[in-house]
Amino acid sequence: MFVYLAKRLGAGVVLLVATVSIVFVMLSLSGANVARTILGGNATEDQVQAKMAELGLDQPIPVQFQQWVLGALRGDLGTSYLTQQEVADAVMQRAGVTLSIVLISIVVSGLLAVVLGVTAAVKRGWVDRLLQVVAVFGTALPGFWVALVLITVFAVTLRWFPATGYVRPDQDLLGWASSLMLPVAAISIAGISGAAMQLRSAMIDLGHREYVRTLRSRAIPPRRLLLIHLLRNAAPAALTVLSLQFVGMLSGAVVVEEIFALPGIGRLAVSSTASGDIPMVMGVVTLMVTMVVIVNLLLDLANAWLNPKVKTR
C-alpha cells in the first residue's frame, strides 16, 4: 500500500513540475505586454520599457523562471503585477469559491448518479430508457447554455436565486447556499449523466456474473446484494468518471464563474492570463494542478479500498 501511494504521489509531483514549467515558458513566450496593460493606452514606449525593467521582464526567461521557482520553494508565489496583491493570498481567497462549487458539484453528482444509475439498472424497462435519453441530453447540453437558462428562469423571472455573485458562508450561510445553487446545478448536470450511465452499465454487467447468481441462489436479501455486492463492485467505474469530471468541472468552473460573476480562481485565471499577469497565472496553475493531484490520489485510495486488487497493479 505504501509503495502504491508513493508511486502515485511521485507521479503527481512530476505532473506538477512539468505543468508549471510548460505554463511559465508559454506565458513568457506569448510576450503578453503586461506593462502596456498596467500603464494604459496613453503611456509612451519609454514608460512601457521602464515598467518592464521594474517588473524584471527584461531578464532572460530562464532567469525569471529560476527566480519564480526559488520563491515558490520558499512558499512565496510572488506579487501580482497588476493588483500588487500577494499571489498566495489572492489565490487562497478565491480557491474557497471554486472549491465550494466543484466539491459540492462532485458530491451532488455522485449521490444523484448512484440514485439514477441504480434505479435504471434495477428497474430496467421504460424507466431505464427514459433515464438514458435524459442522460444523453444532460451530457450533450453545453454548460454555459444550461447556466443562462437557469439564470433566466430562476434568477431573472422567478427571482428565487441571485443571478450573479457569491456570499461567504461566514457572512450568511443561507445566502452562501443560495448563491451556489444555480452554478452547482449548471456544472453538475453533465457529471450526473456521465457517472449514472457508467454505474448503470457496470451494475447490469455485474448482475450477470456467476458470483452474483450464486449469491442470489443463497437467498441473500436483494437490498444487501445491491448495496454490498453490486454497488461496491460497480463503484470504481463511476469513481473514475467522477475523478475525470473533477478536472472537467475545474475547467467548467472557469465558464460558470464568468457567467455567474463568481470570484473564483477560474475567473482569476481568465483575467490574469488575458493581462499577462504571470505570477498570478502561475499561482492559479500551481493550485489547480495540486488540487487535481490530491483528488486523484484520494480517488485512487477510495478505489483501492473498494477493490483491493487495484493495490497490486
User: Contact letters (x/-) for another protein, 184-223, by CB under 8 A?
Assistant: ----------------------------------------
3 or 156, CB closer to another protein?
156
Interacting residue with another protein among 31, 60, 75, 221 (CB under 8 A): 31
Judged by CB under 8 A, which stretch of 58-66, 162-170, 192-200, 293-301 contacts another protein?
162-170
Interacting residue with another protein among 127, 172, 216, 228 (CB under 8 A): 172
User: Contact letters (x/-) for another protein, 262-281, by CB under 8 A?
Assistant: -x----x--x--xxx-----
Q: Name the amino acid, one letter, at 47.
A: Q
CB of 50 to another protein, least distance (A): 5
Q: Interface with another protein includes 85 (CB under 8 A)?
A: yes
User: Contact letters (x/-) for another protein, 44-83, by CB under 8 A?
Assistant: xx-xx-xx--x---------------------------xx
59 or 139, CB closer to another protein?
59
17 or 172, CB closer to another protein?
172
Interacting residue with another protein among 12, 23, 24, 38 (CB under 8 A): 38
205 or 258, CB closer to another protein?
258
Interacting residue with another protein among 73, 74, 126, 159 (CB under 8 A): 159
Please give the Cα distance from 285 to 23 (Å, whole number): 8
